[in-house]
Amino acid sequence: MHPDSATAASTDEAETIEAVDTTRRGVRRFAVWLGEEVNDWFGDKPFSEGGKVSHGRLSVRLRWQEDGGTDTNIRFRARFDLPNLRDKAYVFFGKENEDELTANQPESFTREQLLTESNRRDQTGFFGLGVKLRDYVDFRVGVRGGLKPYTQARYRRHWMLSARNRAEFGETLFWRSSDGFGSTTWLELEHAYTPSLSFKWQNAATITRETNDFAWSSSVGMFKTYGDNKLLSLEALVNGETGSRDDVREYGARLKWTQPVYRDWLLADLILGHFWPRGKEDPEREPNWAASAGLVMHF
């Protein structure tokens, strides 16, 4: 390579890294400013005395589906531990899919991870207050787009069944203004063959006024970790709704690769999936390929 070309490439890389660092600093400054403002609502203790922004995440995703074109999606969320609410409550805000937010759908079964078309009208901003009742129980009250209220009572625990076997269970009881009460239950079982290779079985079921009985999803797969927080997974998927015309709605397979692209807070992932629709409710659906690429920034 010509020396001038090498110098230009190095300069472009440095400018890209600086732009990424600047973006993250800007997002974090905004989050800290918001935390300071909200903290002042509840008392006189300044945010600098123990205030913290945690679980901050900004993601951008491009999705492609066979015969369905492409679409993009932006999601973000953050949690604030506020000095004036220390040991009492926390504040959270962000932008997510409205139904998945209020039902507390597990990440593995969100529309984004299942490569399902996501309508921007389904995305909603949200803001709320959470109270931690015990280490594994919390209660949330929030509002989403259009000042529509919702509440959640959330339970989550995990157990080490043995040196290589782990179980995790979660239950969310929720109420939302659109359709009243509902619940989401999920269970994950994991067996570690080696420190870097494991088998997971994940399940989730959601009951609302709109479901006949409950909408459910399940996956089984292998997860392989590599150095530097790289992860490769291959899963078989199935979902459906009991009590409907089609107890099983769709089978699928999902291959996913995740790795850091800058330090440990900027991650990239690539998901490739193939899906086989079943049943009579939508007979025109055909087997199809889908893929997505995403960037996730933690702040």
Euclidean distance between CA atoms 299 and 54, whole angstroms: 8
Distances in Å between the Cα of 113 and the Cα atoms of 24, 41, 42 are 24, 37, 37
Write down the pTM of the prediction: 0.88
Q: What angle do CA 206, 156, 179 make, to 5 degrees?
A: 30
Q: Which CATH number fits domain 55-298: 2.40.30.10, 2.40.160.40, 3.30.450.190, 2.102.10.10?
A: 2.40.160.40
Q: Which two tokens stand for residue 79?
A: 């949690």
For residue 29, the Cα-to-chain-centroid distance in whole angstroms is 23
The structural domains of the chain, with segments of one domain joined by +, span 55-298
In sequence order, what are the residues at sequence separation of 6 or more whose Cβ sits closer than 8 angstroms to the Cβ of residue 58? 27, 74, 75, 76, 296, 297, 299
- The size of the chain, in residues, is 299
Burial of residue 49 (number of CB atoms within 10 Å: 0-12, 13-18, 19+): exposed
Rounded CA-CA distance 185/191 in Å is 21
First-to-last C-alpha distance (Å) of the chain: 37
Please list, residue by residue across 185-221, b when 16 or more beta carbons sit within 10 angstroms of its beta carbon and e when fewer do.
bbbbbbebeeeeebebebbbbbbbeebeebbbbbbeb
pLDDT in tens, the chain (299 residues): 565 555 655 676 778 888 899 999 999 999 999 999 999 999 999 999 989 999 999 999 999 998 778 999 999 999 999 999 877 789 999 999 999 999 999 999 999 999 988 777 788 999 999 998 888 999 999 999 878 999 999 999 999 999 999 999 999 999 999 889 999 999 999 999 999 999 999 999 999 988 878 999 999 999 999 987 899 999 999 999 988 877 899 999 999 999 999 989 999 999 999 999 987 666 677 899 999 999 999 99
Q: Assign 279 to helix, strand or coil.
A: coil
Half-sphere exposure (CA, 13 Å, Cβ side) for 136? 9
93 to 59, 102, 126, 143: CA distances (angstroms): 15, 13, 5, 10
53-82, pLDDT tens digit by residue?
Answer: 999 999 999 999 987 789 999 999 999 999
d(CA 55, CA 6) in angstroms, rounded, equals 38
From residue 248, alpha-carbon distances to 86, 265, 286 in Å are 46, 38, 15
Kindly state the tokens that stand for 60: 């951008």
Q: How far apart are CA 128 and CA 178, in angstroms?
A: 17
